[in-house]
Amino acid sequence: MIRAGIYGATGYVGYELVKLLHGHPQVEIAFATSQSSAGARLSDLYPCPYDLPLIAPEDVDLGGVDVAFQCLPHGESMSAVAQVRAADVKAVDLSADFRLQDVGVYEQWYKVSHTAADLLGEAVYGLTEVYRDQIAGASLVACPGCYPTSVLLALYPLARGGHLDDGRIIVDSKSGTSGRGRKLSQGSLFVEVNEDFRPYSIGRAHRHLPEMEQELAAWGCADVRVTFSPHLLPVNRGILSTIYVTLEPGWSVERLVATYREQYAGEPFVHVLPEGKLASLAYVANTNRCAISFAQVGDDEFVLVSAIDNLLKGASGQALQCMNLMFGLDETMGLPR
């Protein structure tokens, strides 16, 4: 059995991870931390039967622990990761702290100093479908952000093939409300979200933007500029990204489907839809899948539509997928398909 610890078990991402690990046949939970609810049990905080005790982060004993997940806010995660790595325990970080390889870019966007920049060199970006081999050998995985996961999986086959025009890509994304986390905020209240739909941080203001551009650059598209408009959806789970791209002449939806099916052949969690169908949240809710689909606008204009469950493929599911790889397990173990 793999003994796994969870830092930050009481947010939506942490709670989702607890549920996944409970159902995983090869994992047992070594510890679960909560800064604000240490001493309580998870069943005190969520309507669930998990009487998992919550301990303060400073009371963690890493002896005998194989892997630790950080489900912490950015800025708080880096010290937990450093502590875990110092104890030679593998780390799967779900925060933003190790996603951006350039410390300056990180500090500019996240407004905090990076206190564990020496670990960036060993951090592998946990997008399994792109970096599977590196993840398998990694000691520290930086799980992609939820929006970037939905966008990058949709762009990767075109980017790596050199097909993306060097201009701008417009990404109009819509996320379920669990993406805002469990912290108290008027904008997260039921009455404010229900029957509303609102944009936020649109243009080039959202912190997931540099992450997308970093990966696009790594894939040979350093000159692509992303316009990114997130919106808040009155649903619990899911991200749908509608992506507007310009391609060189000669593309069609048929060719896109064929190209993506070839690229993602054998991928257990990528579902390339046939021509005539468009991805929607219902394709992926409560699964670890990403659904990708296409529409043609003009000769060189296309729309890509991709959907994921933000708590699974966009966070805890993807993290577990990485962990499975890091321990040589079947990549799909414990994950809802």
> In this chain, which of 152, 193, 319, 322 binds a copy of itself, going by CB under 8 A?
193
Q: CB of residue 263 vs a copy of itself: minimum separation in angstroms? A: 17
> In this chain, which of 34, 95, 214, 242 binds a copy of itself, going by CB under 8 A?
242
d(CA 50, CA 37): 15
Tell me which residues in 56-115 interact with a copy of itself (CB under 8 A).
Answer: none
- Kindly state whether residue 172 participates in binding a copy of itself, applying the rule CB under 8 A: yes
- Kindly state whether residue 235 participates in binding a copy of itself, applying the rule CB under 8 A: yes
Taking Cα atoms as reference points, which of 210, 249, 211, 207 lies closest to residue 230? 207
Residue in the structure block whose two tokens are 């992450």: 211
User: Nearest 10 degrees: CA dihedral of 55, 61, 62, 65?
Assistant: -70
- Kindly state whether residue 285 participates in binding a copy of itself, applying the rule CB under 8 A: yes
- Kindly state whether residue 312 participates in binding a copy of itself, applying the rule CB under 8 A: no
Residue in the structure block whose two tokens are 């009155």: 234
With CB under 8 A as the rule, give the number of residues binding a copy of itself: 67
Taking Cα atoms as reference points, which of 221, 224, 222, 229 lies closest to residue 204? 229
Contact characters 129-168, a copy of itself, x per CB under 8 A: ---------------------------------------x
Q: What is the 3-state secondary structure (H, E, C) of 236-295?
A: CCCEEEEEEEECCCCCCHHHHHHHHHHHCCCCCCEEECCCCCCCCHHHCCCCCCEEEEEE
Q: CB of residue 153 vs a copy of itself: minimum separation in angstroms? A: 15
d(CA 39, CA 251): 58
DSSP string covering 57-114: GGG---TT--EEEE---TTTHHHHHHHHHHTT-EEEE-SSTTT-S-HHHHHHHH-S--
- Kindly state whether residue 184 participates in binding a copy of itself, applying the rule CB under 8 A: yes
Contact characters 8-37, a copy of itself, x per CB under 8 A: ----x---------xx--------------
Catalytic residue among 48, 71, 143, 146: 146
* 146 part of the active site: yes
- Kindly state whether residue 265 participates in binding a copy of itself, applying the rule CB under 8 A: no
Q: Angle CA(70)–CA(76)–CA(81) in degrees, nearest 5? A: 45
H/E element, 326: helix 317-326
CB 241 within 8 A of CB 291: no
Nearer to a copy of itself by Cβ, of 88 and 186: the residue is: 186
- Kindly state whether residue 220 participates in binding a copy of itself, applying the rule CB under 8 A: no
Instruction: Give the residue numbers marked as catalytic.
Output: 146
| Residue ranges binding a copy of itself (CB under 8 A) | 12, 22-23, 46-49, 168, 170, 172, 174, 177-178, 182, 184-186, 188-200, 202-205, 225, 227, 229, 231, 233-238, 240, 242, 244, 271, 278-283, 285-286, 289, 291, 295-298, 301, 303, 305, 336-337
